[in-house]
DNA sequence: ATAGGCATACCAACCGGTCGGCATTGACTT
DNA sequence: AAGTCAATGCCGACCGGTTGGTATGCCTAT
């Protein structure tokens, strides 16, 4: 192993940062490779040295979105609190996490690559998160603490829809912290679920 | 004025239908003009006879999204019922309308063309809809029928986030009708707003 | 010497869009 | 009724520019 230059200095990082910005604002397909390298101050040779394709950059961005969120949900559930407290914690956690990765969330929201295996794996993980979330609601209904009138599906989609749209309106410099916003949403939904 | 052939037979319609499908599934930028005309069974000449650009097709699709929804909201408000009934009617109406234009909604959700005047006009209309919606909540809070704890912003984004995500999960062949889903969402949100 | 980081030059394919032309048509003339 | 003409719907070859991706080799640190 002969080390020649910094193997992973910050070039790779800059390419990822710039790509994230462009994908989030213009969309993946509308962003050219030339545009990425120009803005990142590198050349195409560098980009294709670190990534084997433009798609691979996208997939690495995808990876950050639901990377740790599923295990975070499972950890909260494993703590074994009552459904109200469990669901509240999950919602605050989800809102906070989404606020921290607004750009990635925007890229994910635009979708695309419906046939690629990476995208499908992503969707599968997302689907499992939804399922875990809805199970908490069902547990609460079975325990009699949530009304059976509201369906877990509608309740969950109002939460996921909320977080999926955050990238269009949430600004870090705003008055409310992500945790505040999460608490407010939890108040609204939990009050709605307990009739 | 010499009339020669059907001025607007169905060719134009087919181009729009196919474009809507492709834009909704692959995205605007990722869809080629060639792809549209091939799938529509027409030629590029025909397409550029009816539309002056690929963008114009997109803008015509945009036009359907919030075309009548703003005046629908204003009409409901003008009926002057109590805030609870007003908000419920608005939510059911919004959910039903969104269910009827799932594809258009998907195209709109992907966004793009952030600088084009058409897109900005669209956003402006959408912004005014949001404002009208939130005003109903504020009126309810002033009247004391809604709790002042929940912010109109969070409440509205859970509804708009819900509708904006409908295109990812709503299927017309499903068990619940759009009106049913709308009522369920209205139950959840209205219960949450009244503490 | 050697091996890897990266620049440069380059490619075929495809992009959105154009343009000259042709076939079809109804209105008008005869 | 037949012929002429202009307008139109539409075709498809073609355009310059851009696309994602590659081949080659310089340069530098070991």
- Residue A173 sits in a domain whose CATH number is 1.10.357.10
Q: Would residue B116 be called left, alpha or beta, if left means φ above 0 and alpha means ψ between -120 and 50 degrees?
A: beta
Give the residue-averaged pLDDT of B34-62: 95
A109 and B109: CB-CB below 8 Å? yes
> Is the separation of the CB atoms in A69 and A126 below 8 Å?
no
Cα dihedral A58, A64, A65, A68 in deg (nearest 10): 150
> How many Å apart are CA A188 and CA A192, to the nearest integer?
6
Same structural domain for residues B38 and B73? no
Same structural domain for residues B66 and B46? no
Q: Which pLDDT does position A4 carry in this prediction?
A: 52
pLDDT-derived band at B165 (thresholds 50, 70, 90) equals: very high
Same structural domain for residues A75 and A148? yes
Same structural domain for residues A84 and A167? yes
Nearest to A183 by CA among A59, A65, A92, A115: A92
Give the residue-averaged pLDDT of B44-70: 92
Same structural domain for residues A130 and A86? yes
Residue A44, CB, less than 7 Å from strand C? yes
Using alpha carbons, list the distances in angstroms from residue B169 to A9, A10, A54, A127, A156: 42, 40, 29, 11, 12
Q: Which pLDDT does position B1 carry in this prediction?
A: 41
Same structural domain for residues A158 and A80? yes
Chain segment B129-146, per-residue pLDDT in tens: 999 999 999 999 999 999
- Exposed / middle / buried, residue B6 (Cβ in 10 Å: 0-12, 13-18, 19+): exposed
> Is the separation of the CB atoms in A104 and A65 below 8 Å?
yes
- Residue B11 sits in a domain whose CATH number is 1.10.10.60
Same structural domain for residues B126 and B31? no
Q: Which pLDDT does position A3 carry in this prediction?
A: 44
CA torsion through residues B98, B101, B103, B104, sign: negative
Residue A10, CB, less than 7 Å from strand C? no
> Which residues of B have a CB under 8 Å from any CB of A?
25-27, 29-30, 109-112, 114, 149-151, 154-155, 157-166, 169, 181, 184-185, 187-193, 195
Q: Which pLDDT does position B121 carry in this prediction?
A: 87
> How many Å apart are CA A90 and CA A96, to the nearest integer?
10
Partners of residue A164 in chain B, C-beta under 8 Å: 161, 164-165
Map residue A138 onto helix, strand or coil. Answer: helix
Number of domains chain A is built from: 2
A142 has a pLDDT exceeding 50 = yes
Instruction: Give the residue from B51, B69, B92 where a domain finishes.
Output: B51
Instruction: Give the residue from A11, A31, A51 where a domain finishes.
Output: A51
Same structural domain for residues A63 and A34? no
Same structural domain for residues A78 and A163? yes
Residue-number span of the structural domain to which B41 is assigned:
1-51
Give the residue-averaged pLDDT of A85-105: 97
Same structural domain for residues A25 and A70? no
CA of B8, closest CA in chain A: separation in Å? 32
Q: Which pLDDT does position A118 carry in this prediction?
A: 85
> Is the separation of the CB atoms in B103 and B58 below 8 Å?
no
- Specify the residue for token string 């709109």: B108
Chain segment B78-131, per-residue pLDDT in tens: 999 999 999 999 999 999 999 999 999 999 999 878 888 888 888 899 999 999
Taking the CA atoms of chain B, what radius of gyration do you get in angstroms?
20
Same structural domain for residues A108 and A152? yes
> Is the separation of the CB atoms in A22 and A31 below 8 Å?
yes
DSSP B3-29: --S-SS-SHHHHHHHHHHHHHHHH-ST
Chain segment A3-24, per-residue pLDDT in tens: 455 565 788 999 999 999 999 9
B3 has a pLDDT exceeding 50 = no
- Specify the residue for token string 């689907």: A127
Residue A68, CB, less than 7 Å from strand C? no
Nearest to B159 by CA among B80, B45, B73: B73
Chain segment B104-113, per-residue pLDDT in tens: 999 999 987 8
Which token pair is B3? 């009339």
- Exposed / middle / buried, residue B182 (Cβ in 10 Å: 0-12, 13-18, 19+): buried
A61 has a pLDDT exceeding 80 = yes
Instruction: Output the furthest CA–CA distance in chain A (Å, rounded).
Output: 68
Same structural domain for residues B19 and B66? no
Eight-state DSSP code of residue B36: H
């Amino acid at each position: 192993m002969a080390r020649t230059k910094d193997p992973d200095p910050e070039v790779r990082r800059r390419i990822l940062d710039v790509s994230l910005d462009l994908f989030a604002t213009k969309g993946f397909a509308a962003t050219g490779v030339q545009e990425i390298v120009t803005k990142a101050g590198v050349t195409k040779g560098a980009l294709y040295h670190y990534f084997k394709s433009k798609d691979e950059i996208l997939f690495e961005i995808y990876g950050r979105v639901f990377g740790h969120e599923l295990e975070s949900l499972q950890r909260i559930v494993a703590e074994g609190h009552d459904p109200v407290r469990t669901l509240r914690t999950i919602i605050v956690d989800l809102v906070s996490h989404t606020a921290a990765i607004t750009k990635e969330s925007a890229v994910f929201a635009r979708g695309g690559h419906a046939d690629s295996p990476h995208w499908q794996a992503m969707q599968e993980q997302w689907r499992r998160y939804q399922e875990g979330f809805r199970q908490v609601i069902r547990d609460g209904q079975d325990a009699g603490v949530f009304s059976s009138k509201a369906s877990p599906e509608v309740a969950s989609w109002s939460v996921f829809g909320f977080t999926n749209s955050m990238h269009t309106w949430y600004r870090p410099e705003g008055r409310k912290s992500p945790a505040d916003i999460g608490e407010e949403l939890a108040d609204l939904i939990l009050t709605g679920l307990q009739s």
